[in-house]
Amino acid sequence: MSKKLWFKARYFGWGWYPASWEGWLVTLIFIAALFLLGIRMEDIPEDPQAVTMQFILPLVGFIIVFFGIAFTKGEKPEWRWAGKPVGPDTARTLNVLTFVLIVVIIIGLAVALQPQ
């Protein structure tokens, strides 16, 4: 008996898209949580520690939970082009570029949150 997939692998790129009502529900809850976190941002003091504790940590937590659900309830994610897996060399290059982009974003956030 095959398990029902909540998320299916994307045809282009890496990741998933909702494939059932459960997947759509999880996605909508994730978007609503991000929206409410953004609204709450107005009430957070400009102190970097407060921003980290009241915005960045919950944001990272929401992302980890969402990805955890997608990993357990979805297809195996892999780099694809037109629904077919890309070669290992291309996948490795894309993984490195993605990692570099994430590092640049984290460094940018760290610089932006430095006390003036």
* Structure confidence by residue, pLDDT tens digits, 11-49: 888 888 999 999 999 999 999 999 998 888 777 777 777
Residue 115, pLDDT score: 65
Any residues with CB less than 8 A from the CB of 22 and at least 6 apart, and which? Answer: 4, 6, 73
Residue with the larger pLDDT of the pair 49 and 70: 70
Q: Coil, strand, or helix at residue 9? A: strand
pLDDT at 80 over 90: no
Residue 64, pLDDT score: 92
Sorted by where each begins, the domain ranges of the chain are 7-85
Tell me, what DSSP letter sits at residue 28? H
* Cβ-contact 102, 110 below 8 angstroms: no
Q: Counting beta carbons within 10 angstroms of the beta carbon of residue 16, is it exposed (0 to 12), middle (13 to 18) or buried (19 or more)?
A: buried
Any residues with CB less than 8 A from the CB of 45 and at least 6 apart, and which? Answer: 51
pLDDT confidence tier of residue 50, bands split at 50, 70 and 90: confident
Give ∠ CA 96-34-70 in degrees, rounded to 5. Answer: 55
Residue with the larger pLDDT of the pair 50 and 69: 69
